[in-house]
Structure 1
Amino acid sequence: MQNTDDSVELGQRIAAARTSKNLSLRQLAERINVTPSLLSQIERGLANPSLNTLRMIAVSLDIPLFSLFTEPANVDKLITRANNRKKIIFPHSNWEYTLLSPDLSGAIEMVLMTIPPHAQSSEIPLSHTGEEIAYVLSGTVTLYLEDSMETLEKGDSVKIPPGSRHMWKNDNSSNADVIFAVTPPDF
């Protein structure tokens, strides 16, 4: 059988998962009802496992099946350092958005919104396609959501459904900080 890069990578992922669970080749082979020889060939990329065998491997290792086919995440690309965040600052109002997510490539984004004293997010409530969850980290804000007006204080949170008209306002003399997550990214 021809050795392909995909077979080798799959086999290496199986071997890494097996060793991380402290299982010998023989122990895993017994669990999935194949010979140790066949499992060794699969791990070295010399044999291609059936879908059923892959499922049994995933179940025996207590890992999602798809994890055998995906690249492990580069941790450096998942971390956003405090001194290296992307920001949008509106100079005349000191309104600030800080992207807490590393980028906008995923299905969700997290943003820190700093609302300066006596400021609001827009002249009228606006909507966007994403679903939003917001958490008041500090201060007190007024949220205009559809036809209602709600005061949110530190520790309060709110879910804003997709397409809902909303606007944030800070009537106080100090900044208010709101962390929000939006899916899909809409920043």
Structure 2
Amino acid sequence: MDNIDIGEKISHLRKEKSLSIRDLAKLANVTPSLLSQLERGLSNPSLNTIKAISKALDVPLFSFFIDEVNNKDLIVRKDSRRKVIFPKNNDIVFEILSPESANSIEFAIVNLIPYSQISNELMSHKSIELAYVLEGKIKIYIEDDEFILESGDSVTLPPGTNHRWENPFNEQAKIIFSINFK
């Protein structure tokens, strides 16, 4: 793993926001001297200092710890999608549409063949889930209710919502999912 230059990232973000060292130091409640030392790589920040600087710059804390993304890594070609196969039903394959660098959000597409289901039981996630029916129609169970979603319909499931998907119809259904892990 390459070394991460947090000071360089602070400097880049500060300049991107047109802030002087004094301006950022004041916003982050640190001394200009410390900030200058951090940017020049002469000092290592504490986690609390990085937190204060990330808040002052209005950027996520993790942004100081990730490498720059190569633009070509933002593209996911249809023939190189990562796949998730449900062990109990090999007919259900989620193809991940988002790149590995997406971090907090995943997009996936799934083809539900006629008379198939993703799970026999209600399931829930710790994150919000959105789904859009691209083709066909499906049945979704949300808690004690059931709904038919047709092509063009969408649903948003808040974190912790018990739900289950199935295709009880004689035509294939295609659904795009988005799960936000923030």
**Shorter chain as normaliser: what TM range?**
0.5 to 0.7
Unpaired segments ≥5 residues, structure 2? none
TM-score after normalising by structure 2: 0.63
Task: Note the 1:39-58 alignment, pairs <5 A.
Answer: 39-47=35-43, 55=52
Out of 96, 100, 116, the position equivalent to 2:97 is: 100
2:169 maps to a residue whose letter is D
Q: Secondary structure at the match of 1:98?
A: strand
Question: Which residue of the partner structure matches residue 136 of structure 1?
Answer: 133
1:113 maps to a residue whose letter is V
Larger CA Rg, structure 1 vs 2: 1
CA RMSD of aligned residues (A): 4.2
Post-superposition offset of 1:73: 4.5
Post-superposition offset of 1:79: 4.0
Question: Which residue of the partner structure matches residue 167 of structure 1?
Answer: 165
Question: Which residue of the partner structure matches residue 9 of structure 2?
Answer: 13
Are 2:122 and 1:127 aligned? yes
Residue identity (%):
30
Unpaired segments ≥5 residues, structure 1? none
Partners of 1:56 and 1:80 in 2: CA distance: 33
1:166 maps to a residue whose letter is R
TM-score after normalising by structure 1: 0.62
Q: Secondary structure at the match of 2:65?
A: coil
Out of 170, 178, 181, the position equivalent to 1:181 is: 178
Partners of 2:143 and 2:50 in 1: CA distance: 53
Q: Secondary structure at the match of 1:114?
A: strand
Post-superposition offset of 1:158: 2.2
Aligned length: 168
Question: Which residue of the partner structure matches residue 28 of structure 1?
Answer: 21
- Asked if 2 retains the 8 angstrom alpha-carbon contact of 1:142 and 1:149, the reply is yes
Partners of 1:53 and 1:165 in 2: CA distance: 39
Are 2:152 and 1:155 aligned? yes
Are 2:91 and 1:83 aligned? no
Partners of 2:124 and 2:133 in 1: CA distance: 22
